[in-house]
Amino acid sequence: MSGLTLQHFLVFAALLFCVGLYGLLTRRNLIGMLMAVELILNAAALNFVAFHHYLHAGEVAGVIFPLFIIAVAAAEVAIALAVVIVIFRHQGRLNVEEVGHMRH
Amino acid sequence: MMSTVLFYFLAGFILFSAYFVVTAHNLFRCALGLIAVLLGIAGLYLLMDAQFLSAVQVTVYVGGIVVLIVYVILLVADVTQTSYPAGARWRAGVAGAICALMFCSMSWAILSAPELGKVQPDRLRSATLPEIGHSLLSLTAGGFGLAFETISVLLVAVLIGAVTVARVRAGTGEKGAKGQ
């Protein structure tokens, strides 16, 4: 029997979530914020898998939801990067505090 | 005990890389840190017997999403630019305090919940690949067929939307692009 418990993974996911949140709050570059969001999403997915493995004896939803998280993250990144390209094309910078409006 | 050692090794590796992701000034190095984080999390999935998810994490996340991010970094950003405006030190302090408070409260909640510790070692298992496949495509109660189809519609919509948003329009877009 391994010495790992559910709490190991949960505390670690909470730590990863907080690191991501710190990045989201301090970064002012759009791409940097996007990468911080990826950390947060991964922490959430890790929680799903940990609960599915330790507490629910392989309930399938615990693997399906991380799959959907990955798919939605891909969609989110694609749209966000398209917006990043447009903003960069019009302003030449990616500082969120200088992006006051999306119309041009 | 082997898995415990592996867990702590992976956790330290991931946290080091995650710190790199949120603090490095060079965006390209952030992306490399993100790759390290995602690979480490794929390793954690393996520790929990979720092999399929681990493979998906490596192929889709590292092979797809991060490559897209790296591509856009190289396309639009001067990779040596700093990401912090000058004089944002107070913001980092406030954000650090908020995150430390959140982490303390979350780990207190996790460690003090009695039902999380009640794990029967003989019931530890993960969903197998046939189970995942059947569940993804079944339309009966408890199946995820509808969500699976919906997500493909979402991905098509995203494809069209991303192309529409990033398209260079005749007139305004060309002028801005020439300004770079």
The rounded distance, in Å, linking the Cα atoms of A68 and A76 is: 12
Q: Report H helices in chain B.
A: 2-23, 27-47, 51-56, 66-76, 89-112, 114-117, 129-137, 145-166, 172-178
Interface of B with A in 8-47 (CB under 8 A): 11, 14-15, 18-19, 21-23, 27, 30-31, 34, 37-38, 41, 44-45, 47
pLDDT of residue A9: 92
pLDDT of residue B38: 95
In B, which residues are within 8 Å of A8 by CB distance?
7
Predicted TM-score (pTM) of the model is: 0.88
Test B3 with A3 for CB contact under 8 angstroms: yes
Residue of A5, A28, A60 with shortest CB distance to B131: A60
- The list of chain B residues with pLDDT below 70 reads 77-88, 121-122, 170-180
Do B34 and B16 meet the contact criterion of CB atoms below 8 Å apart? no
- Token pair 């940097």 is found at A32
pLDDT of residue B58: 95
pLDDT of residue B180: 38
A1 has pLDDT over 70: no
Q: Provide the mean pLDDT of chain A.
A: 87
> A13 CB near a chain B CB, below 8 Å?
no
Long-range CB pairs of B143-152, under 8 A, 24+ apart, other chains included: B144/A61, B144/A64, B147/A64, B147/A68, B151/A68, B151/A71, B151/A72
Q: Taking Cα atoms as reference points, which of B68, B70, B164, B172 lies closest to residue A83?
A: B164
pLDDT in tens, A38-54: 999 999 999 999 999 98
pLDDT of residue A29: 84
pLDDT of residue B59: 94
Amino acid at B120: Q
Interface of B with A in 97-116 (CB under 8 A): 98-100, 102-103, 106-107, 110-111, 116
pLDDT of residue A101: 66
pLDDT of residue B176: 44
Q: Taking Cα atoms as reference points, which of A93, A89, A80 lies closest to residue B173?
A: A89
Q: Taking Cα atoms as reference points, which of B79, B78, B83 lies closest to residue B32?
A: B79
The ipTM assigned to this model is 0.90
pLDDT of residue B175: 46
